[in-house]
Amino acid sequence: MRGVCLVVVMALLLAGCTRNPGEPARDEQAASAAQANEGIVTISGDDTILESLTWRPPAVEIPPDGIDEALERAGEALEAGNLSTDGGSAVPLFMALSKQAPDNQQAQAGLQDALQAVIARGDEALSHAGDDISALRRAHEMAAVARAVDGDDEAVVDYLERIDRADTLWELNRDGERALAGGRYGEDGGGALAKFREALALQPGQPRAMQ
C-alpha cells in the first residue's frame, strides 16, 4: 500500500512539473490575450487634465528711484524667455512696474509684450497637446499666468477658448481609446467610434482621433 501511495505522489509531482517547452504558461497566455485585446491603444500614466490653476505673481519691490533699473531687468528677462518663474521674471516685474508707474508707457508696453510671449508659449505647448498630457498642462500653466495679467484681454480670452477646445479633444480621445481598449467599438453607450467622431467634428483631421 505504501508503494502505491509513493507512485501516486510521484505521478502528481511529474504532472505539475511537466510542460511542453514551446507552450507558454496559462497565466502568460492570459496576459498575452489581454495584451492582444488592448494592443491597439496603450494608455499609461496619469492622463487626467489638471484643474484650472491659479497663478499669483511673486512679490516684487521696486524703490521709487529704481524704475529704470527694473525696466531694464524686466526687458532682459523677457528677451531671455524668463516669463513667470520668480520675482526676477518679466511678467511679475512688468506687473509691478505698471502698478507703481501707471503712466510709464514703457512699463505698459512691456507688460503687453510679456503677455503676448506667455500666450505664444502656451500656443506652442498646445501644438503638442493632442497626444502629450504634459504639454497640455504647460498650456494650462500659461493660461493661469495670462488670466492673472488681464483676463479680459481679447487675446487672452481667445487663448482660453483654445485651451477649452484642447481639453475637450483630449477627453474625447482618451475616452475613445479606453472604449476601444475595452472592446466597446460601436456608437451606442459611449463607444469608441462615437467619441472619435465627436473629436473630429470639433477639429476635423485631428491626428489622434484619425489614428
Provide the sign of the torsion angle of the four alpha carbons 201, 204, 208, 211, taken in this order.
positive
Please state the pTM of the whole predicted model: 0.70
State the Cα–Cα distance between residues 154 and 156, nearest whole angstrom.
5
Q: What is the pLDDT of residue 130?
A: 82
pLDDT tens readout for residues 115-159: 999 999 999 999 998 888 899 999 999 999 999 999 999 999 999
pLDDT tens readout for residues 149-181: 999 999 999 999 999 999 988 888 787 777 777
State the Cα–Cα distance between residues 14 and 124, nearest whole angstrom.
63
Phi and psi at 140, nearest 5°, equal -65, -40
Element (H, E) at 22: none
- The helix/strand count (H/E) of the chain reads as 9, 0
